[in-house]
Amino acid sequence: MLIPIQSETPKFKCSACGSCCSHIRGMIPKEDREFIKEFAFGKMPVVQLVPSEQMTFPLWDWEAKRFMEWQHEAKVDANIKPLRAIMDLKSNKAIILTYFMDSATDACPFLKNNKCSIYHTKRAYVCRLFPFNRSPFLNQEGTPLKHGMFGECGAMEHILPQVPEDFNKMVKFLNEAFPDSSFLNAVQNDIIIEWANKTIIDLIRKKVIKPAINYPYEFLLKRISSSDKVDFTDFLVECSYLTENEMRDSIRNFDSNIDAENKIKHFLN
């Protein structure tokens, strides 16, 4: 009797080629770039502060704070600047949602001799989720599930053709194929994006903030540049939306991927 051979899920193994960290400028999926171009320059509460060609990976505000410290330890100037902000007409403050490294070259300033000089740290989600751009849970309506999910990575060649089309099978496969936790990191980062969007909507609904929308972009930029600035998570504490402890616990939970683990556990049986 022939015994059917169970095909093993291939395992992703980063070859440490450094390619993803060497080209961080403008490296965003096409559909994201189109969305930013259409809406992020003044038509939504969150305003993009630099052209999409200039931007590099987005860092959440708490990640940017860590990078600002690590740059001294690594002896680099990461040139960290605000990337997206809400101009709040109620508090008259620019609330900074994300930052980016305005690197002098295409490469991440922390990349030295083709190695990440802060690899031993938690780094940022964008560092830890690659080769993913996003998880399958953040699917843009109308686009095929796999489209835009991965960035360019030579180590993906033997994985890509085997990614199942069926959503449930895909989640299980991705969890097994990425033992480096990049899949979990991608899921968690998407959960944080969702959390940030929902929180902003809730702040508007409860009239805690009044974002400037539909003003001329140049006017918004000037207003943001001359206003007092506050990081998003600091603002949530400042306006009593969350207590300091609640905010700290949330960031700790984000860091531990606990929400992502809960989200995918139903798919793993």
- Residues making contact with ligand SF4 (CB under 6 A): 14-21, 24, 108, 110-111, 116, 118, 123, 127, 130-131, 153-155
Helical (H) or strand (E) element with 87: strand 80-88
- Give the residue with the Cβ less far from ligand SF4, 132 or 235: 132
- Give the residue with the Cβ less far from ligand SF4, 21 or 40: 21
Three-state secondary-structure class, residue 59: strand
Three-state secondary-structure class, residue 82: strand
- Give the residue with the Cβ less far from ligand SF4, 21 or 96: 21
- Give the residue with the Cβ less far from ligand SF4, 86 or 108: 108
Helix axes 244-256, 182-205, angle to 10 degrees: 150
Task: Name the minimum Å distance from CB 62 to ligand SF4.
Answer: 15
Task: Name the minimum Å distance from CB 233 to ligand SF4.
Answer: 20
Could you give the CA distance from residue 241 to residue 208 in angstroms, rounded to a whole number?
A: 9
Task: Name the minimum Å distance from CB 227 to ligand SF4.
Answer: 29
Task: Name the minimum Å distance from CB 36 to ligand SF4.
Answer: 20
Could you give the CA distance from residue 148 to residue 185 in angstroms, rounded to a whole number?
A: 16
Count CB-CB contacts under 10 A for residue 160: 13
